[in-house]
Amino acid sequence: MSNKHLMTGNEAAAEAAIQAGCRYYYGYPITPQNELMNHMAMRMPQVGGTFIQAESEIAAIYMAYGSAAAGARVMTSSSSPGISLKQEGISYLAGSELPCVIVNVQRGGPGLGDISPSQADYFQAVKGGGHGDYHTLVLAPSSVQELADLVYDAFDLADRYRNPVMVLGDAQLGQMVEPVEFSRPPRTYFPKKKWAITGAEGRPRNIIKSFYPVKGELEEFNLYLQRKYQKIEEKEVRYEEINTYYSEIALVAYGTCARICKEVIRKASPLGYRIGLLRPISLWPFPKEALRNLSERVKAFLVIEMSAGQMVEDVRLSVLGRCPVHFYGRTGGGVPSSKAVLEKVLEIIPTVSAGPLEMAEMGLPPKVD
Amino acid sequence: MTEKVILVGYGGQGMMLFGRLLAQAAMLDGKQVTFFPSYGTEVRGGTACYHLIVSTEEIYSPVVEEADTLIAMNQPAYLKSRDYLRPNSLLLLNSSMVRREDNYNGIEVYEIPATEIANELGNVVASNMVMMGAYNYIKKLISIPLFLNCLKQTLRGKKAALYEINKLALERGEEYLKNAYLLKAPTI
Amino acid sequence: MEVLYSPPETLIRTSTHYCPGCGHGIVQRLIAEIIDEWGIRGKTIGLAPVGCAVLAYNYLDIDMSEAAHGRPPAVATGIKRVHPDKLVFSYQGDGDLAAIGLAETIHAANRGENITVIFTNNAVYGMTNGQMAPTTLLGQRTLTSPEGRSSSAHGYPLRICELLATVEGSSYLERVSITSPENINKAKEAIKKGFKTQMEKRGFSLIEILCPCPVYWRMGAVESMRFIDEEMTRTYPLGVFKDWEKIAT
């Protein structure tokens, strides 16, 4: 028990980065991610690291670019409007193959929007966001503990693939206080980055760049990137499946929405409805295969998002019409209530099932784990 | 056991500290907790609303849709958050600043003049601890020594001097409730 | 046979993409000469900008990174914080530094960031075929000021050294030109002073170098040099604008 700390998601993300060996953080204030930056300002001097409050989100991402190019573990964070500003830099990071962790504590948009929880940056996060044919690994936690764990993992993934990794949270996760345990060993040793710019003492020089002006070179480089992304798609898919084995309807949700969906399953269980949940943890790479497999077993999907419907497109592309994909979302800072989701489920059920089954008929009591 | 609490007040009425201490104590007691502020754009003076869930089971949705307990520190906050109430909810009102609007069916209501009690003690900010004393007397959610320990940990340095008055406020809240409502402590 | 002269080792032996009469080649060569003379090839990290000097890393045999348009001071900050004992310099043009990257420039200076900025000012956007720069002179014709820059329509030429001199965090600021062997020698000394500022951890240094762009000034190479001496230096006077050695502390 004594190892548990009560922290906001924002603070937990910052602390996890430090545990993962991140010693360089650059940020710019924006609600609702300020606690992350404040924690870094306090902690970095304690661990001999660097904290700079940059003049803009743009400067922050390029300071991160510099430290990544220099071979360090580095992080920046912001919330939706600030992440939009960072997109150019993220494209450059991807194009220069630099490892960097970016935390987006999403808020309502478009424009200045509001400071309420949102998942409306999904497209921006998983489809590129900046210019060019690139991908950012995107991890979506649904609790403060998982936020900490995924930030820790994000640094290893970023280094392994020399690629930016985004941890996609929301105002709810960032502001929420939950117990968190930092059980992973604090990292101090990392494999040497031979490509980094450190001063070319006794070796041929290194160049960090994304510019390929000679005809054909850029295409070749892009094809190489695509091969790398394919490898990531094969190896780094993460998801959680709950209660799907006996289900007729599978909910699909990530982050905060996934927790609301678990509440829905808990509420629906006594009614005898067989509802499952597939929770993507990696949004890119997306658990396409898992959804495809699930589409062979369930009769319908219901995607729940805090957006007007973004991830639902990827679900539809994965399911490829094998069964209907329904959607329920709240947008502009609205958070779906478990009651509303349950109502939506009850609306869909008559279209796929003869109605609630008796517990005995199901053979097994509905299980929520 | 799951207890879902909504704490509302003006920013500065100490609802944040109230919720965080409760969450801390519950965590140390081995329970699952989530504590979530949902506030307006104002830093001070606006309505601050906090969702607190304490449970012996895994907590799924961190959002309180129906409150087991609503603790309201002022009139506008009270009016804004009445929708969280359901039959059998517990409603604690800071009667120094809240006028009870109507009689709810099946809702247990307790009115505690927390601001006045805290004022008498010499620190109006301790009204949150008055409410905490009353609340915990009814719900017995956590052990008071554990809570006081968390309070002591929080009030360090310059704030250490505030510990005694907060502790006193906690006791006064409990006392007031006992005297005004002649309750026998129920167990849940 | 006695070698009387050889080009600097750090300057990669290749033909450059610069136009005839361009100043970049001279400035990059000066950097290479200093790196050789001081034997700091393994301790130097450079940043190439977006603009005509985008391929600077093709000409200098040191660790280098590109930086997006306007961002070299931010990238240099990130590098320098990781390698405080390496010499980190950015190489930037006027559009990069004085327009899109002005915020990064001022704030790096204001933090006293221990880096050196080599700022080549040729008063025009060269790589995009000759548009108006923040440093374009009044009356100067460019693609986007076809009638000549007018203060009412386009604002005034921005004087970077003068501007940064008001920023408390800056330590060494000098404007030089490369219009004659004598001026080139002075430019080299100025760059050395900038590097020295950094090596002694004195903070932010910026060397502004007035450079010719004969193609987009629509002049001959010699005429361009004369233009700098006679016209450009009237808006941009040469000299030291801030020197930590001369500031009483």
Residue of B nearest to A333 (CA): B38
The predicted structure's pLDDT at residue C249: 52
The predicted structure's pLDDT at residue A274: 82
Residue C41: list chain A partners with CB under 8 A: 200
Cβ-defined contact of B41 to A115 (cutoff 8 Å): yes
**Which chains form contacts with chain B, at 3 or more CB pairs under 8 Å?**
A
Whether residue A141 is preceded by a cis peptide bond, meaning omega within 30 degrees of 0, is no
A338 touches chain B (CB under 8 A): yes
Task: Look up the ipTM and state it.
Answer: 0.96
pLDDT tens profile A4-34? 999 999 999 999 999 999 999 999 999 999 9
Question: For residues A43-71, b (16+ Cβ closer than 10 Å) or e, as one string?
Answer: bbeeeebbbbebbbbbbbbbbbbbbbbbb
Cβ-defined contact of B65 to A337 (cutoff 8 Å): yes
- The answer to whether chain C touches chain B by having 3 or more C-beta pairs less than 8 angstroms apart is no
Cβ-defined contact of B63 to A337 (cutoff 8 Å): yes
Stretch C55-84: mean pLDDT, rounded?
Answer: 97
Q: What is the rounded distance in angstroms from the CA atom of residue A58 to the CA atom of residue C103?
A: 10
Residue of A nearest to B16 (CA): A177
Domains along chain A?
4-193+209-235 (3.40.50.970), 239-362 (3.40.50.920)
Give the minimum alpha-carbon distance from B35 to chain A in angstroms, rounded to a whole number. Answer: 5
pLDDT tens profile B115-138? 999 999 999 989 999 999 999 999
Given a cut of 80, is residue B184 above it in pLDDT? no
Model confidence at C236, in pLDDT bands (50, 70, 90)?
very high
The structure's pTM equals 0.94
B76 touches chain A (CB under 8 A): no
DSSP state of B30: T
Q: Which residue among B20, B36, B65 places its CB closest to the CB of A172? A: B36
Q: What is the rounded distance in angstroms from the CA atom of residue C173 to the CA atom of residue C196?
A: 13
Give the number of beta-carbon pairs within 8 Å between A and B: 53
Contact yes or no for C115/C198 (Cβ under 8 A)? yes
Residue of A nearest to B54 (CA): A178
**Which chains form contacts with chain C, at 3 or more CB pairs under 8 Å?**
A
User: Which residues 19-58 of chain B have a CB within 8 Å of chain A?
Assistant: 20, 23-24, 27-28, 30, 32-38, 41
Cβ-defined contact of B34 to A176 (cutoff 8 Å): yes
Given a cut of 80, is residue B112 above it in pLDDT? yes
pLDDT tens profile C126-163? 999 999 999 999 999 999 999 999 999 999 999 999 99
A249 touches chain C (CB under 8 A): no
Average predicted confidence (pLDDT) for chain B: 90
The predicted structure's pLDDT at residue B181: 86
Give the minimum alpha-carbon distance from A335 to chain B in angstroms, rounded to a whole number. Answer: 9
Domains along chain B?
2-181 (3.40.920.10)
User: Which residues 6-65 of chain A have a CB within 8 Å of chain C?
Assistant: 24, 26, 50, 52, 54-56, 58-60, 62-65
Q: What is the rounded distance in angstroms from the CA atom of residue A54 to the CA atom of residue A56?
A: 5
Cβ-defined contact of B34 to A178 (cutoff 8 Å): yes
- The better pLDDT of the pair C203, B45 is held by C203
Stretch C35-55: mean pLDDT, rounded?
Answer: 97
- The better pLDDT of the pair C113, A362 is held by C113
Tell me which of A102-106, B2-6, B11-15 is least confident.
B11-15
Residue of A nearest to C104 (CA): A59
Residue C89: list chain A partners with CB under 8 A: none
Cβ-defined contact of B36 to A179 (cutoff 8 Å): no
Residue B84: list chain A partners with CB under 8 A: none
Cβ-defined contact of B33 to A178 (cutoff 8 Å): yes
% of chain B residues with pLDDT over 70? 91
- The better pLDDT of the pair C247, B161 is held by B161
Contact yes or no for B92/B135 (Cβ under 8 A)? yes
Q: Which stretches of chain A drop beneath a pLDDT of 70? A: 1-2, 353-369
The encoded tokens of residue A66 equal 């510099």
A356 touches chain B (CB under 8 A): no
Residue of C nearest to A26 (CA): C78
The predicted structure's pLDDT at residue B186: 57
Q: What is the rounded distance in angstroms from the CA atom of residue A127 to the CA atom of residue A134?
A: 8
pLDDT tens profile B144-176? 999 999 999 999 988 898 999 999 999 999 999
Which one-letter amino acid corresponds to residue A283? L
Given a cut of 80, is residue B42 above it in pLDDT? no
Contact yes or no for A123/A186 (Cβ under 8 A)? no
- Considering the domain C24-244, what is its CATH architecture? 3-Layer(aba) Sandwich (3.40)
The predicted structure's pLDDT at residue A2: 57
Q: Which residue has the tokens 């927790």?
A: A259
Stretch C1-23: mean pLDDT, rounded?
Answer: 93
% of chain C residues with pLDDT over 70? 99
